[in-house]
Amino acid sequence: MLASAYEVPLARDAYNSGSRLSRILRDTTHSRTCVWREIQQLAVAIKDLVVYLGDLVTANNVPISNASAYWEEAISPTRERGIPWASIFGNHDDMPFEWPTQWFSTSGMPPIQCPHKCLHLPSSGDSGCYFQGTTRKELMENDSCNPQSMSSSGPHSLWPSVSNYALPVESSRKPGLVVALLYFLDSGGGTYPEIVSFAQATWFEQISQKLNPDLRIPEIVFWHIPSKAYKKVAPRWGIRKPCIGSINLEKVASQEAEMGMMDVIAKRPSVKAVFAGHNHGLDWCCPYQKLWLCFARHSGYGGYGNWPRGARMIQMTEMPFSLTFWIRMEDGSTHSNFTLYS
């Protein structure tokens, strides 16, 4: 096992890609309902791996002590189709419950409807509504219990961030040969600042050096909140070459500070792209030094904005390596196709 050989936090197994690996990046569902038609339609287009880029639940609007039931709803279309997935956290997943001011007016507290099947809730006959929120650790423990989940909590030393791990992709032609490395990082928010810490940057530098010392293997990085580097490359009006995409309708809401992560990434020519979510009104990709900075596409019906829903699709081929990505809309149409070669 790679995990024991390198003594670093890898996902539970190296992922066997086949000659091509297709992935779907889903961003910000902001779930608190069971309406998942857009996920179901998008899921039929993928069979290899789904990456949940954070904000699966709007925890600040979820009045239960454990939001795992809503998380289970969010991943259910993927799980029911037997598709593996990897998850990272966004700023809303463990955000403290926000009490609506109107609940304390003359209208009073409304009837609270809690899920009938909440995981890990006490069976004492109470309603299960505690308004206490759910920690990242609890959400990850529930996620990683699923057989198809490739997610991992990551090193305890990086607390309070959770979901920091690496996922090697193995060749279908030569078993055991790693042809790509996927890195997942928690960009904070919710119960602590929106930031990728210096400790996380150091961890990434160490783990990437152990897994890929000669920089031979292509690497891809995923997190929820874009780094400040995204602001530097953001198109000012519309989207013009060399950038590619379809919507540029808000300013980049970046991490609060840069603690060295982008410097580490930029020094590794093996890193081909970084994928982020967070901004619902952005879906562009732009070059930054020798790599690409990309947004996914807002997939869910929660959160702000009413732009058409979709997801970023990624197809990776080996020998020779190439990375093709595009946007697939809920209605099945596609756009913003682009291919990177090693």
Question: Distance (Å, rounded) from C-alpha 245 to C-alpha 322?
Answer: 19
**What pLDDT sits at residue 341?**
84
pLDDT score, position 108:
78
- Distance CA(112)–CA(96), nearest Å, equals 17
Q: Residue 131: what pLDDT?
A: 61
Residues 6+ apart with CB under 8 A from 61: 32, 97, 98
Q: Which sign, positive or negative, has the C-alpha torsion 59, 65, 69, 71?
A: positive
Residue spans of beta strands (DSSP E) within 82-171: 85-87, 165-170
What is the chain's pLDDT, residue by residue, as a tens digit (342 residues)?
222 222 234 443 444 544 455 556 555 555 433 333 444 444 444 568 999 998 887 766 666 666 677 788 888 888 888 899 999 998 887 877 777 787 788 877 776 655 544 344 344 444 455 566 678 888 898 898 899 999 999 999 999 999 999 999 988 788 889 999 999 999 999 888 999 999 999 999 999 999 999 999 999 999 999 999 999 999 998 899 999 999 999 999 999 999 999 999 999 999 999 999 999 999 999 999 999 999 999 888 877 888 999 999 999 888 888 999 999 998 999 999 999 987
Euclidean distance between CA atoms 298 and 283, whole angstroms: 8
Position 35 scores a pLDDT of 33
Instruction: Give residue 21's pLDDT.
Output: 55
Rounded distance, CA 11 to CA 182, Å?
A: 10
* pLDDT score for 40: 44
Q: What is the pLDDT of residue 173?
A: 83
Nearest residue to 203 via CA among 264, 115, 137, 151: 264
pLDDT at residue 293 in the model: 98
